[in-house]
């Protein structure tokens, strides 16, 4: 379906896929199934040096036993590429091995390391500028995820804190904190996992903005659909994606029960400001800490799409399409891994929907010429 009209030093292609994590590989797999050929019909860019998406950067203690929500890519089982007999295998090595094997099995050549710097509108085509060349595309599937965009909320006094401040993205292992009091900030699954690990080697304090909601009952498919629907409704109305944990609650696992017995999960409300030596609450209570570990999540990595003007005044992007992957203002652009497709299983389904809808859109557009 590649059309004419490319300019000098610009490579024409039907679809550019940005990101080769779960969402990007799923989209590429289905683009090929729906008739597009690699390199001429679609091209995949990834900023990392090797396969694995964000998984290759996760902390070593995150194993196949402790990882939350690892799912097979379409057409190939994880267990076929990686020995899952030992659950103690680090996810940071197992998942990259799986993704690498997947790319080879389905002949999905990924250009890496390639940084997409900016995407601009050029009439019927999109101009995709990278640090290795410029591409002219008829459609775009953005699957950049969130790992490269950690979020740390602003609090008064943060700049004067004399201790160490880190984000989940910077975490390696608990030993780095031995002998220091660690304040863990955040109410998500990662916050609880890291709090538990660190509490075995040093003293900790846990603070969250909201009271944690614990979920003892089984996470059924029906409940999962309810959660996805709630997140999807937000992006269809142009609101920024909400936290999935705010809808699901925190699952009560054996690790959680053990941490409760050790009184590790005695949560405090959010502080009001940061001091030179710690934090201060609204009532004047203070706490000295050595480390503030911000487990406060990530935001979608979409800065390279800024020239397209996709965001609403409130910061969200109005989405449409079967699984809310299509940008309502520009049907040539799909965001996979944004909003309801942020989970690994959601990314698989969204990759297929985005590929199908985009190929149909391009085919319809070509037929109309």
Summarised one tens digit per residue, pLDDT across range 171-216 is: 999 999 999 999 999 999 899 999 999 999 999 999 999 998 888 8
Summarised one tens digit per residue, pLDDT across range 42-88 is: 999 999 999 988 888 887 778 777 676 678 899 998 888 787 666 67
The total number of residues shown for the chain amounts to 369
- Comparing CA positions, the residue from 196, 164, 159, 158 lying closest to residue 180 is 164
Number of helical H runs and strand E runs in the chain: 8, 19
Mean pLDDT, range 132-155, rounded to an integer: 93
Which is more confident, 249 or 18? 18
Q: Provide the pLDDT for residue 8.
A: 60
Q: Provide the pLDDT for residue 300.
A: 86
At 251, is the pLDDT very low, low, confident or very high (cuts 50, 70, 90)? confident
Mean pLDDT, range 160-179, rounded to an integer: 95
- Comparing CA positions, the residue from 182, 177, 29 lying closest to residue 109 is 29
- Could you tell me the CA-to-CA distances from 44 to 24, 36, 337 in Å, in that order? 8, 12, 16
- Are 68 and 345 in contact by the 8 Å Cβ rule? The answer is no
Question: Is there a cis peptide before residue 113, judged by omega within 30 degrees of 0?
Answer: yes
CB contact set of 8 (below 8 Å; sequence gap of 6+)? none
Q: Provide the pLDDT for residue 68.
A: 62
CB contact set of 259 (below 8 Å; sequence gap of 6+)? 192, 195, 196, 199, 265
Mean pLDDT, the chain, whole residue set: 89
Kindly report the CA angle at 190 between 187 and 194, in degrees rounded to 5?
100
């Amino acid at each position: 379906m590649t059309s004419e009209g490319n300019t000098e030093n610009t490579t024409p292609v039907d679809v550019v896929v940005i990101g080769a994590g779960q969402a990007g590989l799923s989209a590429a797999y289905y683009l090929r199934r729906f008739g597009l050929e690699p390199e001429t019909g679609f091209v995949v860019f990834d900023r990392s040096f090797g396969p694995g998406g964000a998984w290759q950067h996760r902390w070593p203690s995150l194993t196949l036993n402790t990882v939350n929500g690892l799912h097979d890519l379409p057409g190939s089982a994880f267990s076929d590429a990686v020995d899952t007999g030992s659950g103690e295998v680090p996810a940071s090595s197992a998942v990259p091995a799986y993704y690498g094997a997947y790319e080879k099995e389905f002949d999905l050549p990924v250009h890496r390391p390639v940084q997409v710097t900016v995407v601009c509108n050029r009439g019927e085509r999109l101009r995709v500028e990278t640090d290795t060349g410029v591409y002219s595309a008829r459609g775009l599937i953005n699957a950049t995820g969130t790992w490269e965009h950690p979020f740390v909320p602003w609090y008064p006094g943060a700049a004067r804190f004399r201790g160490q401040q880190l984000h989940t993205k910077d975490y390696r292992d608990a030993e780095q904190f031995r002998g220091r009091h660690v304040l863990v900030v955040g109410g998500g699954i990662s916050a609880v996992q890291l709090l538990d690990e660190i509490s075995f080697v040093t003293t900790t304090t846990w603070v969250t903005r909201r009271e944690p909601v614990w979920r003892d009952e089984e996470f059924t498919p029906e409940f999962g659909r309810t959660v996805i629907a709630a997140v999807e409704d937000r992006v269809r109305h142009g609101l920024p994606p909400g936290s999935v944990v705010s809808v699901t609650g925190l699952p009560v696992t054996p690790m959680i029960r053990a941490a409760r017995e050790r009184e590790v999960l005695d949560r405090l409300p959010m502080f009001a400001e940061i001091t030179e030596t710690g934090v201060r609450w609204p009532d004047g209570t203070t706490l000295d800490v050595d480390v503030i570990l911000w487990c406060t999540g990530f935001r979608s990595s979409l800065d390279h799409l800024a020239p397209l003007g996709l965001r609403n005044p409130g910061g969200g992007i109005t989405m449409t399409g079967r699984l809310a992957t299509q940008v309502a203002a520009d049907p040539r652009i799909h965001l996979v891994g944004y909003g309801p497709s942020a989970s690994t299983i959601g990314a698989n389904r969204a990759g297929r929907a985005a590929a199908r809808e985009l190929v149909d859109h391009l085919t319809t557009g070509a037929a109309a010429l």
